């Protein structure tokens, strides 16, 4: 089994709750949900290989218990975002238990403010860092792009299953 991971940036829209919930359930944005479906369906990532990137919590496992917050990288200076990206990259081995020498690929999904700081920081690992961000698309178009990939993958899998019969 390869040591691949998917990293998905959090969303501003969150579940309205006063209690801690799994990170994967807290984020309610349409783009987050579409990227999560993409990671599960198209990249074939189990939830144990899906990490979530948060401006407040940093890098975390999808089942990490967290509370809602109101914070964004938009509120940080470029220098603070760079330092945040370095902390995220440093914590990667701690969160995953995988060191750079044994890491194959990291698929990163999120806006430029989230992707740029960690792309440079993750370059220190020997892994391929693949940014999955459809350039030039607005929010709704990105949601549609990810959903289309998921639907096409599901149709392909169904066709393959029918041919195997």
What is the DSSP track for 2-21?
Answer: --EEEEEE--S-B---SS-E
Question: Which helix or strand (DSSP H or E) is residue 24 part of?
Answer: helix 23-26
Q: Which two tokens stand for residue 114?
A: 């989230």
**By C-alpha distance, which of 83, 137, 129 is closest to 107?**
129
Can you give the pTM of this predicted structure?
A: 0.89
Say how far apart CA 125 and CA 55 lie, in whole Å: 21
Query: How many domains, the chain?
Result: 1
**By C-alpha distance, which of 7, 54, 6, 9 is closest to 32?**
9
Q: List the CATH number of the domain containing 154.
A: 3.40.50
Q: Which two tokens stand for residue 102?
A: 């044994």
Whether the CB-CB separation of 7 and 59 falls below 8 Å is answered with yes
**By C-alpha distance, which of 39, 73, 80 is closest to 55?**
73
Domain of 39 in residue numbering reads as 4-164
7-57: pLDDT as tens digits: 999 999 999 999 999 999 999 999 999 999 999 999 999 999 999 999 999
70-120: pLDDT as tens digits: 999 998 999 999 899 889 988 988 898 887 667 788 999 998 888 888 887
């Amino acid at each position: 089994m390869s040591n691949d991971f998917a990293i998905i940036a959090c969303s501003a829209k969150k579940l309205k709750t006063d209690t801690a919930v799994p990170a994967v359930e807290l984020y309610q944005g349409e783009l987050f949900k579409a990227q999560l479906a993409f990671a599960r369906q198209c990249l074939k990532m189990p939830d144990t290989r899906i990490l979530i990137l948060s401006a407040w919590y940093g890098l975390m496992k999808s089942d990490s218990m967290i509370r809602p917050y109101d914070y964004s990288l938009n509120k940080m200076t470029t220098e603070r975002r760079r330092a945040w990206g370095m902390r995220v990259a440093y914590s990667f081995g701690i969160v995953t238990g995988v060191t750079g020498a044994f890491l194959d690929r990291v698929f990163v999904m999120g806006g430029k403010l989230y992707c740029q700081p960690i792309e440079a920081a993750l370059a220190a690992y020997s892994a391929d860092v693949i940014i999955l961000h459809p350039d030039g698309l607005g929010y709704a178009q990105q949601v549609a792009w990810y959903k289309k990939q998921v639907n096409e993958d599901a149709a392909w899998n169904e066709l393959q299953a029918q041919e195997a019969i």
